[in-house]
Structure 1
């Protein structure tokens, strides 16, 4: 059963948090709920889900596991949207591969809306931006919930953003940073919490005359070295 087109983004966040409470994967819980609740899974339908509904979905025919009553209660409250911080996910911008020639891809660690406020090993999601010198688009939000069950969470998180060129985080440990670099992503610490778009704008201003580290990311020679290259060619 495919659930990609049968669930809203808000509902996906609630299910993801509830699945963590129940120690199952978001996909497992989504499929279990789909057997109990008519598709599509919306916030309104999740808000009507009872503890009994969830129990039957979990351990009924084809269920995924049994759960303690208190765990079920906490999970149901999350499905209702209670205590779900940052549940208002930002709107995405339209994007197709090749739309922005010369752009790079940036991942920002986030827990709240479109705010850069996440630590690499504990953030709820990564905001994915396509950035050029003249334009920036938020093209995806990627939940990190699936990485919680990985044997090496840092490797799983690095793999989640392996198609990105740069990572912005509030903090990241040395071993985790090494795994991000191994995935060919350049980590940058932005300790101050703030709108992700502010940091994206700063990155944009650097693209036309990038510092050496950013030039390497972009696959070009740093401007400071260009004059020497020109001199060599003249000789």
Structure 2
């Protein structure tokens, strides 16, 4: 059985669930072992740092901690012992997921939850990941990011691909 703990940041009043994402904000999950770097595979991540990111700022919204994670051995658990579904459920509401690796079945579940997984080839600091997202948001976002922003309602208009000549 997978145990999940949440550390949520709240302002003035207690909320039982994650705060709503503000319009124009991108909610990003980062797979991490230590809350300092993007340094984990999706299945073996002990933690996910969840941030709200705008072109000008970012803020930590929540840290989700898992006790029961993959050992990356490639072996599957007994039927009915699902470690992936609780992780996907915990990331609900995020638009992007950054991780070092993610298996096909896990990626399919993440995509079905309307979360865009992004594999990064090498570990890097969370600050570097967030700064790169801000740069993409400030400049011309790539088509895949414009689509994510449009679907999330984080932009005022649908993504237009007419200006890409």
Query: Do the aligned residues in 2 keep the contact of 1:110 with 1:125 (CA within 8 Å)?
Result: yes
**Gap runs ≥5 in structure 1:** 1-22, 28-91, 229-235
**Gap runs ≥5 in structure 2:** 13-18, 71-76, 151-156
Question: Secondary structure in 2 aligned to 1:123?
Answer: coil
Query: Do the aligned residues in 2 keep the contact of 1:105 with 1:128 (CA within 8 Å)?
Result: yes
- In 2, Cα distance between equivalents of 1:124 and 1:186: 20
- In 1, Cα distance between equivalents of 2:44 and 2:149: 28
From the two aligned structures, give the one with the greater helix fraction: 1
Is 1:214 aligned to 2:145, yes or no? yes
Q: Max radius of gyration: which structure?
A: 1
- In 1, Cα distance between equivalents of 2:130 and 2:2: 35
- In 1, Cα distance between equivalents of 2:11 and 2:47: 19
TM-score (norm 2): 0.73
Is 1:176 aligned to 2:106, yes or no? yes
Give the CA RMSD over aligned residues.
Answer: 3.2
From the two aligned structures, give the one with the greater strand fraction: 2
- In 2, Cα distance between equivalents of 1:94 and 1:152: 34
The number of residues matched between the two structures is 143
| Aligned match of 2:47 | 125
Q: Which moved more, 1:196-205 or 1:140-149?
A: 140-149
- In 2, Cα distance between equivalents of 1:24 and 1:97: 25
